[in-house]
Amino acid sequence: NVLRLEAKDLADIFAQWNRGALESYLIEITAEIFRKRDPDTAKALVDVILDKAGQKGTGLWTLQSALSQSVVISTINAAVEARVISSRKEERVAASKILPQPQVPTFSGNRDELVQAVHDALYASKIVSYAQGMELLGAASTAYNWNLNFGDIATIWRGGCIIRAKFLNRITEAYARDPKLHNLLLDQYFTDIIAKTQRNWRVAVSTAINYGVAAPAFSASLAYFDSYRSARLPANLLQAQRDFFGAHTYERIDKPGIFHTDWIGDQPAQEISEPKPTSKRHAGE
């Protein structure tokens, strides 16, 4: 708790957020949760609930589906993993007594600015999570010939679903503009939102890192965004490593073809007429 805020302060913040762009069922109930008092202790009820989250398996199913379709859903994965590590309560308590804590000063910045930064990071990360989810649905729709209408799906989610949110209207509008939109981030409306929130998004994530506060979904969303917007990634090194240890071959940027190098000897790179088949089962090699 970098800002040392109490539950009542957080309730007011979430209630305010629910009157703006972040208006949604989950933001609404979060404000209500922070307001609820425990009749036994008179403390905020959330503060006496054990920090050990459960899960029913839907997150796991989603991750398995994404892997089978080769779709990145890192934000959703981070949320599932956060639950998993929370479930290891006894182990975390023991580790907290052994592992070094970061030496950080008391926060001396502007409280309202950091609250706004977290707001913007949440908004941007939420957009990324929906973009990833829609891409997974798109991949499944293609693979299984479902012919899904993503604008209609967003409309359905607006009524009665726990992920219903105000900006689902904007998702419906995005797919009305371009029914074949590959990634929600590429719609101009969402591109503009990311442009406006990006600086604060980075401030929130870097502040969490500097103060030793885990923010897995924020961090994963930002990493996804930075990877997705990069014309060139360091996967060239990865391909070289794969070719070194497993002769998995690589392509070049200066000429067509599939190549394999004798990394230990002095033989020139060998052009391979056909790439070695890679099954999804061995895609991690």
CATH number at residue 189: 1.10.1040.10
Q: What is the tally of helices (H) and strands (E) in the chain?
A: 11, 2
Q: What is the total count of domains within the chain?
A: 2
249: left (phi over 0), alpha (psi -120 to 50) or beta: left
b/e map 135-155, b = 16+ CB within 10 Å: bbbbbbeeeeeeeeebbebbe
Where the chain has pLDDT below 70, the residues are 160, 273-285
Asked if residue 157 and residue 262 are part of one domain, the reply reads no
The alpha-carbon radius of gyration of the chain (Å, integer) is 23
Asked if residue 112 and residue 167 are part of one domain, the reply reads yes
Asked if residue 246 and residue 175 are part of one domain, the reply reads no
Q: Tens digits of per-residue pLDDT, 27-45?
A: 999 999 999 999 999 999 9
Q: Is residue 23 part of a domain?
A: no
127: left (phi over 0), alpha (psi -120 to 50) or beta: alpha
Asked if residue 209 and residue 168 are part of one domain, the reply reads yes
Asked if residue 222 and residue 94 are part of one domain, the reply reads yes
Asked if residue 224 and residue 248 are part of one domain, the reply reads no
Helix (H), strand (E) at residue 109: none
CB 74 within 8 A of CB 66: no
| Cα 87 from Cα 255, distance rounded (Å) | 51
Asked if residue 265 and residue 202 are part of one domain, the reply reads no
Asked if residue 260 and residue 165 are part of one domain, the reply reads no
- In DSSP terms, 165 is beta-bridged to 24
Per-residue tokens: 5: 């805020």
Question: Would you state the pLDDT for residue 188?
Answer: 98
Q: At what angle do helices 111-144 and 74-86 cross, to 10 degrees?
A: 110
Q: Is residue 20 part of a domain?
A: no
The whole-angstrom distance between residue 187's C-alpha and the CA centroid of its chain comes to 18
Q: How far is CA 261 from CA 97, 256, 264, in A?
A: 49, 15, 9
Q: Is residue 44 part of a domain?
A: no
Per-residue tokens: 155: 């409309």
CB 279 within 8 A of CB 70: no
Amino acid present at 4: R
Q: Domain residues for 250?
A: 242-274
Asked if residue 206 and residue 136 are part of one domain, the reply reads yes
Asked if residue 151 and residue 264 are part of one domain, the reply reads no
Asked if residue 263 and residue 166 are part of one domain, the reply reads no
CB 37 within 8 A of CB 43: yes
Question: Would you state the pLDDT for residue 72?
Answer: 97
Asked if residue 248 and residue 219 are part of one domain, the reply reads no
